[in-house]
Structure 1
Amino acid sequence: MNLLARLDEDMKQAMKSKEKEKLSVIRMLKAALQNEAIKLGKGQLSEDEELTVLSRELKQRKDSLHEFEKAGREDLAEKLRNEINYVNVYMPEQLTDDELSNIIRETIQQTGASSKADMGKVMGAIMPKVKGKADGALISKLVQEHLSKS
């Protein structure tokens, strides 16, 4: 079942069970996916394009959550935490730290990177491998740690 069909099914369930917040998030996700399809001039997005949209939506919410927590707006922060949980349902399973470290080590070896100056080369090679399965900031931090050790 593709993502839009899954969102439609979940939207019906949320309507029936009167889960307003979940329904709102699903509608936002559907709108974001449909807007991206229109922007790209396609009838249907590929799985990779859908993942890109979901990742962007998740990142926006995480960034906003950080800002609300800094500002002491716990009411808005709690709402965003719930939204993040709803979006995470549609994301692929996240990689463990060990799996991520292994991928980073392999990529560093493949690219021949030896210092922090090679960070861009490593990040460019690793991001397609872990797209949607790990947070970009975490990957960047781990790559820096691995490169500083070598």
Structure 2
Amino acid sequence: VDFVLQAWSIKTGLSARAYKWSEEGQGVQLTLALGPENRWCAHVQRAHRSNGTYLRVDRRRASFTQFCYDPDCRAAGFRGSDELPIPPSLCMPSASACTPACAPAASEVSRTSSAIEGWLSEQALAALPLDEIG
């Protein structure tokens, strides 16, 4: 979640905070409702004045997409931005959806934590194709 919010903040130039979230499909999809400080919409290429936006994370596809609640965008056929990549190592199932049998070994958790730290670096975030979103 932190990676997605950081990447979206860099893309939009606005701070990104999830004020609520939900998990669907046994943790395969996450929906992050963004706070009012970030209403940027990929369809209109600017922030909405009053309608909110949200990000949908698809762990299976290792990507996230931006959507909005604006009726004009929906009427125009906007069904979400282009997918933006998420490092596959960050798309592991949540602990709540994981039984002891599927939990990674301690060495794997350590390796994954190192990978996450590398992906969260400013250099790694800057290298993402965030300007290509449409």
Taking structure 1 as the reference length, the TM-score comes to: 0.23
Larger Rg: 1
Taking structure 2 as the reference length, the TM-score comes to: 0.24
